[in-house]
Amino acid sequence: MKPRSIPVTSPSLPPLEEYIAEIKSIWDTGLLTNMGPLHQKLTGLLVDYLNVKNISLFTNGHLALECAIETLQLTGEVITTPFTFASTTHALIRQGLTPVFCDISPMDFTLDTSKMEALITEKTSAIVPVHVYGQVCNVEKIDQIAKKYGLKVIYDAAHAFGVKINGQGIGRFGDISMFSFHATKVFHTIEGGALTFSDSSYEERLSRLKNFGISSPEDVTEVGTNAKMNEFQAAMGICNIRYIDHQIALRKKIVDCYREYLDGIRGLSYLSPQKGVTTNYAYFPVLFDEKEFGKTRNEVVEALKKEDILARKYFYPLTSRFSCYEGRYQEEATPVAKYIGDRILTLPLFGALNLNDVKRICQVILER
Ligand SMILES: *Cc1c(COP(=O)(O)O)cnc(C)c1O
């Protein structure tokens, strides 16, 4: 019998009856969207869970990020990473900004703060780092640099739901942080996202921006977009938040299992836990050094594919190499990001993945 196929991820779903119970009220109230009662309820639950001061919910993470950029009125150049999902770079370009790519650290794959200051010019208005794979950026150093040069900081925290630094919610750092609640993320609302921030004065502008810029029944004060989270999305979030700790615990078991099987293999490395950080086990990225390991990352991908196991070259290529940006950026400007992008593979990881499958995945990877 052929072993079953293993996807790279699979969304967590609450028991169907719970979701039905949660959406039932929608038939009574007739409120399907526009910041209804379920939206308000989820807002409260997330402020508590994420340990943040303020949160604004959105229909997805990407539009949330664009609204954060507009709210802070960024201009000119923004220091950011090319080792990320398309959304981070696209949001900057779509908002008329110029991304200036800074290299990443080989230790945690987040922005290398020692290379940041050299890239700052009089046109720089902000830093947009990514807590990639839920690994936290050097938030202290980034804060120092931002203060020194008068820059804003927007964190792409799409991967970092529930992550904490010394007990403090990751969404407390920088001016604004963006979370994604897409179906593939640790916590989801089908599609969805949020911005968290400490300065309550952003609240009003964000509420307007995500609702066409409408400020009152008879006036529209800015050219806003439509990025509201609807009640069905909020209901999914309310159900999923009940199981989030359980989901993260299941992910931890799987990651521990991967680490056990892949420990001490020459030419194969993975990230170590960060000190003082409560992680969410969002991804399990593995780096293959072909000279030591004897196989390239691409050969490992092919071997897994033959066994119907899907792993993702996440993040390859770098966003600076997308054909939509052809001729605009030099991959050589970020050699560490290029090195890692060429060798990285994220292995299957989701709560329902069973430990025998983890063993099978590791066996295929290690087969010579
Ligand atoms: C998922 C993701 C986004 C975009 O979030 P959506 O909710 O899918 O719009 C942005 N940045 C990163 C790093 C992501 O992984």
Residues 280/134, Cβ–Cβ less than 8 Å? yes
Residues 193 and 317 grouped into a single domain: no
Residues 153/175, Cβ–Cβ less than 8 Å? yes
Whether 10 is covered by a domain: the verdict is: no
Domain count for the chain, please give it. 2
Q: Is 130 in the pocket of ligand 1 (CB under 6 A)?
A: yes
Q: Which residue has the tokens 């690994």?
A: 135
pLDDT at residue 307, as a whole number? 96
For residue 297, give every residue at least 6 positions away whose Cβ sits within 8 Å of its Cβ, in sequence order, or none: 288, 290, 313, 342, 343, 344, 345
Q: Is 6 in the pocket of ligand 1 (CB under 6 A)?
A: no
For residue 6, give every residue at least 6 positions away whose Cβ sits within 8 Å of its Cβ, in sequence order, or none: 308, 309, 310, 348, 353, 357, 360, 361
CA of 87 to the centre of ligand 1 (A): 6
State the amino acid at position 324 in one-letter form: C
Q: Is 180 in the pocket of ligand 1 (CB under 6 A)?
A: yes
Closest ligand 1 atom number to CA of residue 61: 7
| Residue ending a domain, choose from 217, 241, 265 | 241
| 3-state secondary structure (DSSP) of residue 57 | strand
**Cα–Cα distance, 165 to 84 (Å, whole number):** 21
| Residue ending a domain, choose from 212, 241, 270 | 241
Q: Is 110 in the pocket of ligand 1 (CB under 6 A)?
A: no
- Tens of pLDDT, residue by residue over 208-257, are 999 999 999 999 999 999 999 999 999 999 999 999 999 999 999 999 99
Domain that holds residue 179: 16-241
Q: Is 89 in the pocket of ligand 1 (CB under 6 A)?
A: no
Instruction: Select from 62, 63, 228 the residue to mutate for testing ligand 1; criterion: most ligand atoms less than 8 Å from CB.
Output: 62
Sheet holding 164-165, edge to edge: 168-169, 164-165, 277-278
Residues 230 and 128 grouped into a single domain: yes
pLDDT at residue 4, as a whole number? 79
pLDDT at residue 3, as a whole number? 72
Residues 23 and 138 grouped into a single domain: yes
| Residue ending a domain, choose from 241, 271, 304 | 241
- Tens of pLDDT, residue by residue over 44-57, are 999 999 999 999 99
Residues 201 and 284 grouped into a single domain: no
Q: What is the mean pLDDT, run by run of 10 residues, along the chain of 368 residues?
A: 84 97 97 97 98 98 98 98 98 98 97 98 98 98 98 98 98 98 98 98 97 96 97 98 98 98 97 97 98 97 97 96 96 96 98 97 95
Residues 61 and 129 grouped into a single domain: yes
> Which CATH number is 163's domain given?
3.40.640.10
Closest ligand 1 atom number to CA of residue 191: 7
CA of 129 to the centre of ligand 1 (A): 13
